[in-house]
Amino acid sequence: MSNAIPRMTNLFLQLGLEADEAAIAQFIKTHQLSTDISITEAPYWNDAQRQFLGEQIKSDAAWAIVVDQLNESLHEDAVKAQSGL
């Protein structure tokens, strides 16, 4: 486990993804989820990524806030559509 400070860039690094601002924005834009799919059920994670995200949410660890922010970002389009915004 990394001792990196929980930030979105460090979360992406922890997940083995490109972590610059543009890459994060692009990932979020192109990986939107419907409201009925949890972040840990997203089809694009590998087993290790899925496990890491799930563990952080369940343990309410320091990473949980950043994982929750990513979760909200990945559901943003669906929530807007559902609420009519």
**What per-residue confidence (pLDDT) applies to 24?**
97
Provide the residue ranges of all domains of the chain, joining segments of one domain with +. Answer: 8-83
* Residues with Cβ within 8 Å of residue 68, at least 6 apart in sequence: 57
Over the stretch 14-44, which tens digit does the pLDDT of each residue have? 999 999 999 999 999 999 999 999 999 999 9
The C-alpha atoms of residue 39 and residue 41 are separated, in whole angstroms, by 5
Over the stretch 45-57, which tens digit does the pLDDT of each residue have? 999 999 999 999 9
3-class DSSP state of 7 = coil
**What per-residue confidence (pLDDT) applies to 1?**
47
pTM: 0.88
Tell whether domain 8-83 is in CATH 1.10.10.1130: yes
pLDDT band for position 83 (cuts 50, 70, 90) = confident
The C-alpha atoms of residue 6 and residue 61 are separated, in whole angstroms, by 10
